[in-house]
Amino acid sequence: MGMSSMARRIIPHLGRGGEKANVARASRSRQECAGRMPTPQRAGRPRYRPGLSDFILRLHSHPRGGPVPAGGADWRAVWPISTLRMVLAIYTIASHIMHMWIQRDIEPRLQRSARTRPVVVLTGARQTGKTSTLLRLFPKYGFVSLDLPTEAEQAEKDPQNFLQRHPSPMIVDEVQYAPGLFRHLKATVDARRARNGQFLLTGSQKFTLMKSVSESLAGRADIVELETLSWAEIRAALPETGLETAIVRGGFPELHANPDIDHMAFYNSYLATYLERDVRSLANVGNLRDFERFLRACALRSANLLNKADLARDVGIAPSTANQWLSTLEASGQVILLEPWFSNRTKSIVKSPKLYLADTGLLCALLNIRSQDALRESPAAGAIWETFVFAQLRGRERLAGRAGSLFFWRDRTREVDFVVDVGGNLELFEAKWTELPAPSDAVNLDYVRKVVGKSRVASGAVVCRTPNSFPLVNGFRALPASDLV
C-alpha cells in the first residue's frame, strides 16, 4: 500500500462531526488530493478547504520543510492545530509501516477477535506497536488518539458527543486517559450488540485499563496483550540478525524496522518519556530521579527472587513506596512478576515471586551494556539470558492461549528456572548462558522431576546458546532459544 493510499484510507475518518463536510472533500479523487485546483465554489456552499489527505500527501513530498497548501496559505488557518497534530501522529505511524513492517504473530488473533467480539482491547507497554498494528490490519477504521489533550478531555467530559464525532468502526488510541468514556461505549455497543468489531481500543497502562474494561465492558470485549518482538518474529523478518544483537538491541519494533537508529539513544528517550508521562499519571512520585534509581535497582535484580524490603533499603525509600512503585512498573508493562509453582507434595517451596524486566534491550540499557562484547563480558549475562528466555516462553504461552501456565520452582536448596503447567503435565526449563551445556546443568531438572513425580513431567530441557538441539543425560535435551515455539 503506497503512502497516498494509506492517507486516503485512514485520514477521511478524522474530524467527523463539525468537520464532516470538509473531511468528505478530503477523500476526493487522487488528482484533487495531489493538490490540483479544487472544484469551483458553488453558490451557497462553503468554500473548499484543503483536505487532510492533501496535508498528508504534501507532508510526504516535503518532510523537512513542511507542507504548504496550494496558494501559499497556512495550514493552521484552515485546520485546527489539534487535528493537524493527529495527522502528524498518523503520518509518523504510516511512515514506519511503509519503511518496514515486521509481521506480528498475534495478528491472526486480533483479526479473529474483531470478527467475533464487539470490542477488542489491545494492551502493552509503550512503543510495542499497538497502534501501527491496528492501523495496518484495519485500514478502513477511523482513528482517534486520546494522547491529544483536547480529544481526551472531550472523551472524558462529553463522551456522548465524542462518540458522535467518532462513530464505529473506530480505533481509539490510549483510551485509559478517558475512563469516563467506557460506560458510554457500553451503551453504544449494546445498541448494536450483534455487530462485531465496533471499537478497537489500545492502552499502555494495563491496570487502569483493565479496571475500566471489567466494570463497563465485561462480556463485550476481548483483551489481547502485545509485547515486544519475540526472537522468532525478529528471525522471520531479519534472518541475518544475531542472537546476541537481538538481546542487546531488544524487541521494540522500531529498532528493527530501522537499523540505523542508535539503540542507546532510543532507550534514553524512552525512559525520559516513560518517566514523564506514565509515572506521573500512575503514581504519586515526588522525585522522578528516585523512581529512575528504583527502576535501575529492579534491573539489577532481574531474574532474581523479589525482596521488597531489600529493594526499598537500597534505593532509600519506604517499603510501602517500593510496593506502590513496583505496581506502577507492572501496570505500565515494564516489569513482570513470575509466581512459583507448588503442590501439596512441595510444602517447603519458596512463596516469593521472581522479578523480570519485560524487555532485554531496556534491561541492557539500564545496566549500561551497549554491545555484544559488553554482554559477553558482563557478570549479569546469565540473568540477562534468563530474562530473554522468560520473554520467549511467555510469548509462546500467550500465543497458545495458555494464560497463567508459566511458573518457576524453588525450595530451600534447589531451583528450576521455568515450569510450564498444561493440565497438570509439566515442562521443565533451565536457562544457561553457555553454548555447550554440561550434564551437571540438568541436575536440578532431574531433582524436581523426582520430587513432583516422573509421570507428571512431559519433558525437560536446558535452554542455551547452542545452534542445534542435542540430547543430555536422563532424557533431557539442550535447546536453542529458536526451538521455544
- Written as one string, the DSSP assignment of 276-314 is IIIIHHHS--S-HHHHHHHHHHHHHTTTEE--HHHHHHH
The pLDDT of residue 86 is: 55
CA pair distance 104, 137, nearest whole angstrom: 11
The arithmetic mean of pLDDT across residues 298-314, rounded, is: 96
The pLDDT of residue 345 is: 58
H-state helical runs in 100-240: 107-116, 130-137, 149-157, 159-165, 181-191, 206-216, 231-237
Contact 375, 369 (CB under 8 A): yes
The arithmetic mean of pLDDT across residues 338-359, rounded, is: 84
The arithmetic mean of pLDDT across residues 52-80, rounded, is: 45
Give the model confidence (pLDDT) of 3-57 as tens digits.
Answer: 444 444 444 444 333 333 333 333 333 333 333 333 344 444 334 334 444 444 4
Take residue 197 and report the three cell numbers written for it: 468489531
Q: Which of the four pLDDT bands, split at 50, 70 and 90, describes residue 163? A: very high
Greatest mean pLDDT among 3-7, 35-39, 151-155, 273-277 lies in 151-155
Contact 35, 70 (CB under 8 A): yes
The pLDDT of residue 346 is: 56
pLDDT at 320 over 80: yes
C-alpha distance across the termini of the chain, in Å: 31
The arithmetic mean of pLDDT across residues 54-61, rounded, is: 42
The arithmetic mean of pLDDT across residues 394-406, rounded, is: 92
Measuring CA to CA, how many Å separate 317 from each of 291, 308, 314, 397, 411?
10, 11, 8, 36, 30
CATH architecture, domain 241-342+352-385: Orthogonal Bundle (1.10)
CA pair distance 463, 470, nearest whole angstrom: 11
The pLDDT of residue 92 is: 52
Take residue 173 and report the three cell numbers written for it: 488510541
The pLDDT of residue 207 is: 65
CA pair distance 478, 68, nearest whole angstrom: 61
The pLDDT of residue 32 is: 35
Single-letter code of the amino acid located at 158 = D
Element (H or E) spanning 450, and its range?
helix 443-452
Q: For the chain, give the mean pLDDT.
A: 82
The pLDDT of residue 343 is: 75
As a whole number of Å, the CA-based R_g of the chain is 25
Greatest mean pLDDT among 28-42, 77-91, 171-185, 457-471 lies in 457-471
Pairing verdict, β 199-203 and 170-173: parallel
Contact 431, 443 (CB under 8 A): no
Give the model confidence (pLDDT) of 94-107 as tens digits.
Answer: 544 445 789 999 99
CA pair distance 219, 65, nearest whole angstrom: 49
Torsion of CA 278, 179, 138, 396, to 10 degrees: 60
Domain borders along the chain are 3-99, 107-225, 241-342+352-385, 406-483
Task: Provide the CATH topology of domain 107-225.
Answer: Rossmann fold (3.40.50)
Greatest mean pLDDT among 50-54, 384-388, 408-412, 422-426 lies in 384-388
pLDDT at 73 over 60: no
The pLDDT of residue 43 is: 43
Give the count of alpha carbons within 13 A of 8, CB side only. Answer: 13
pLDDT at 302 over 90: yes
417 or 28, which is more confident = 417
17 or 279, which is more confident = 279
Q: Closest by alpha carbon to 342, among 350, 333, 334?
A: 350
Q: Which of the four pLDDT bands, split at 50, 70 and 90, describes residue 442? A: very high
